[in-house]
Amino acid sequence: MKTRRLLILLLLAILIPLPFKAQSPCLSEENLRSRQDFRDAKFGIFLHWGLYSMLATGEWTMTNNNLNYREYAKLAGGFYPSKFDAARWVSAIKASGAKYICFTSRHHEGFSMFHTRYSDYNIVDATPFKRDVLKELADECHKQGIRLHLYYSHIDWYREDAPWGRTGRGTGRPNPEGNWDSYYQFMNNQLTELLTNYGEIGAIWFDGWWDQDQNPDFDWHLPEQYALIHRLQPACLVGNNHHQTPFEGEDIQIFERDLPGENKAGLSGQDISSLPLETCETMNGMWGYKITDQNYKSPKTLIHYLVKAAGRDANLLLNIGPQPDGELPAVALERLEQVGKWMQVYGETIYGTRGGCIAPHPWGVTTQKDGKLYVHILDLQDKSLFLPLEGVRVKRAVDFVTRHPVKMQKCKDGILIQLEEVPTDIDKVVELEIS
């Protein structure tokens, strides 16, 4: 009897892997569907836009230069993004093949890029522009059929009731000590507005949890906040850029500037969970608009990153920092177009796929769906390539684009594919029919 119970316990321990802990016990059907859609989407565009775009040195300028919070707030009086046109943004982003947009509703600077009742420090009440850019963006996203996600900062370098963390200490803002109840309420009020006034929101993307990582006793009270979101919109996914393995109540796992499993930027040592994955990366080197940064990644680098993310079963959230005049930088528009052209041809090997059964290799990655394994050859110096496919039956191999058969030879632990020449394409895709 005892051994049976032990056996059952052991079985349960094997069947319920750790990451499941991060999922709340009863997930709604809408939520599960939404996770699936998110996983299928594979590509989104991040937009970092706020008052900081006017200073054109990135979204951390306020704290990096210790700008006084009252002086900084005066930027709002001159913010008039006369060229802002949500329809043009959304069309350009859609044409890139991206399936969702993540917009900074309020970044660490504390300025709300939407009309909120809970603070005058917002785009409608504090600027001469007086337009709710989020409303315009949301309407356009819904019209053009692209999902909208909202970035929301836990950090606030402006409000006097926001907790002091390790950043933003030089902005002249007083320390509310332990008393930040009103700020917590403010955040939940704003989240309620965001999830009530702007139609369907695909995800809330939190950032800034790490501001308190030197204060182990600090508690952001996330479970209530997450429950509020799920109560208002059950299909809205919750993600948090805390650089940890997901917490209870989160629906997706976020990585920053690194592919899951890699840690070159130093923010991603965490375990990979079973939740849908996303990694964010900049097109140039900065999230918010930076006038001196023209160092945009090449189309090839961007496409490789997208493909490598898909090969690891992750979405790429690729960032653009809109200009203070409301336009997307010209080079960013060019990149959107270039990636879009590629996606038009190769999208089938990306959308709706899962990471393939061959783990990522230096030569490239694999993606998989409906009995097809797409071998994405990104960097190969030879004409032939060994694919470790032990136990997998390969019925057919064709060049994904030309549909010409690709020679293959079965060997002991897989197959050897032989190409006509050393591949020079951005991504040479060989499609294998497998069972």
Footprint of ligand GLC (CB under 6 A): 48, 59-60, 207, 241, 256, 280, 287
CB of 104 to ligand GLC, least distance (A): 7
CB of 60 to ligand GLC, least distance (A): 6
Please give the torsion angle defined by the CA atoms of residues 273, 277, 283 and 284, in that order, rounded to the nearest 10 degrees.
Answer: -10
CB of 167 to ligand GLC, least distance (A): 8
Q: Between 59 and 250, whose beta carbon lies closer to ligand GLC?
A: 59
Q: Between 251 and 281, whose beta carbon lies closer to ligand GLC?
A: 281
CB of 108 to ligand GLC, least distance (A): 6
Apex 389 CA angle, 386 and 395, nearest 5: 95
CB of 316 to ligand GLC, least distance (A): 12
Q: Between 149 and 428, whose beta carbon lies closer to ligand GLC?
A: 149
Q: Between 241 and 253, whose beta carbon lies closer to ligand GLC?
A: 241
Q: Between 208 and 311, whose beta carbon lies closer to ligand GLC?
A: 208
Question: What whole-number distance in Å separates Cα of residue 194 and Cα of residue 102?
Answer: 13
Q: Between 240 and 349, whose beta carbon lies closer to ligand GLC?
A: 240
Q: Between 251 and 256, whose beta carbon lies closer to ligand GLC?
A: 256
Strand-pair partners of 365:
376
- Locate 334 and state its tokens: 């060019």
Question: What whole-number distance in Å separates Cα of residue 270 and Cα of residue 255?
Answer: 9
CB of 45 to ligand GLC, least distance (A): 13
CB of 238 to ligand GLC, least distance (A): 16
Strand-pair partners of 387:
415
Question: What whole-number distance in Å separates Cα of residue 358 and Cα of residue 310?
Answer: 13
Give burial (CB, 10 Å; 0-12/13-18/19+) of 254. buried
Single out the residue of 352, 430, 367 nearest to residue 43, CA to CA: 352
Number of helical (H) and strand (E) elements in the chain, helices listed first = 11, 16
> Which backbone phi and psi does 233 adopt, to 5 degrees?
-145, 95
Answer for the pair 105, 150: CB distance below 8 angstroms, yes or no.
yes
